[in-house]
Amino acid sequence: MLKMKMKLKNVFVMYFFVSILGLMYALMQLGQPCDCTQHMKQNSDFVRNQDRAISKLQNEVKKLQAQVKPEEPPKPILPIIYVITPTFTRLVQKAELVRLSQTLMHVPSLHWIVVEDAATKTSLVAELLKQSGLQYTHLNVETPKDFKLKEGDPNWLKPRGVEQRNLALQWLRDNRELSDEGVVYFADDDNTYSLQLFQEMRFTKRVSVWPVGLVGGMRFERPLVENGKVTGFYTAWKPNRPFPMDMAGFAISLQLLLANPTAHFHLEAERGYLESSLLETLVSIEELEPKADQCRKVLVWHTRTEKPKMKQEEALQKQGLGSDITIEV
Ligand code: UGA
Ligand code: MN
């Protein structure tokens, strides 16, 4: 009996020691570094393959979405507004053209035709056009000597910008087709234009008209409208002219101009009759399309820039101290 007890005790002691050893070995292994690279490589391969599969699926989804997405409505194509501007060299020219160009930059679908009254194109105008980022055509033609204003002449003595506007009309006839949609507006370089004016003229069918501010010795001149039709004109100066309107007060559809290949401004037109010389051959008064709230809204002003005085400049020039002419003004 005692012998058996001893044996059992031994077994327990043995078991105890073996367990302790096992436990110690396990504890030692815990903090040991192990060679896991193989294991990690397998893991990262697995992750990479999964990523690839996911991005493939995402691409698939995108493709399907593109097929399902309803087509964006096509942007309406606006008729191009061709703005024709005669211009000539003088102290305020750059200021005028900077102001006008920066207005036109805000108008979509616009083509600026600038015609210099000069024997050759100037770099001032060429550079300004290039810098503007506008769609443009740069032309030049000199007003014949007999029709040109001389220094000191009152500016109303002879019509201005006539051959320049006619050259622009010729350019349109040579470079555009009857099927091209557009509207033509004669914008002198010194007037002031509201952006809304361009919206009003955009869809001109034949000839559209509106008031002009600060013109004809009045606050404004305007076509008179009854039941949506032009019936006459509010003007005090030569009211019997066929179209008693300023150049800034109308726009003509490109098609109408192309369909009438001989319509042009008359160089010999009597004072105030320049606008009529073109319009007479194109429309009747009943056909005019009144814009700008039935011609009750002024959106263009016949502003005129004062000639700057150069008294000091001239005095300095006499002393050989004139300003640096390489600085453009
Ligand atoms: C008014 C009208 O608003 C003009 O559209 C019209 O051409 C002119 O009368 C006229 O009856 O001939 P007004 O302010 O008196 O205009 O004329 P300007 O502004 O001096 O000239 C009209 C345009 O012609 C301007 O763009 C100007 O730069 C240009 N111009 C003027 C020339 O190209 N050459 C010149 O010798 C003078
Ligand atoms: Mn003017």
Ligand with smallest separation from the Cα of 246: 1
Which residue ranges of the chain lie beneath pLDDT 50? 1-2, 4, 31, 33-34, 36
The Å distance, Cα 317 to ligand 1 centre, comes to 30
Q: Which ligand 1 atom sits nearest the alpha carbon of residue 274?
A: 11
What pLDDT, on a 0 to 100 scale, did the predictor assign at position 51? 74
Asked whether 275 lines ligand 1 (CB < 6 A), one says no
Q: In angstroms, what is the span from residue 89 Cα to ligand 2's centroid? A: 14
Task: Tell me, using a 6 A CB cutoff, whether residue 114 lines ligand 1.
Answer: no
The pLDDT of residue 72 is 74
The string of pLDDT tens digits covering residues 162-204 is: 999 999 999 999 999 999 999 999 999 999 999 999 999 999 9
- Give this prediction's pTM: 0.80
Catalytic residues: 275
Q: How far is the CA of 214 from the centre of ligand 1 (A)?
A: 15
Q: Report the pLDDT value the prediction gives residue 247, as an integer from 0 to 100.
A: 98
Spatial distance between the Cα atoms of 38 and 70, rounded to a whole number of angstroms: 50
- On whether the CB atoms of residues 135 and 110 are closer than 8 A, the answer is yes
Q: Which residue's C-alpha comes closest to atom 35 of ligand 1?
A: 160
Q: Exposed, middle or buried by CB within 10 Å (0-12, 13-18, 19+), for 194?
A: middle
223 lines ligand 1 (CB under 6 A): no
216 lines ligand 1 (CB under 6 A): no
Would you state the pLDDT for residue 239? 95
**pLDDT score recorded for residue 155:** 77
Q: Which of 101, 145, 160, 192 to mutate to test the pocket of ligand 1 (most atoms within 8 A of CB)?
A: 160
The residue contributing the CA closest to ligand 1 atom 26 is 188
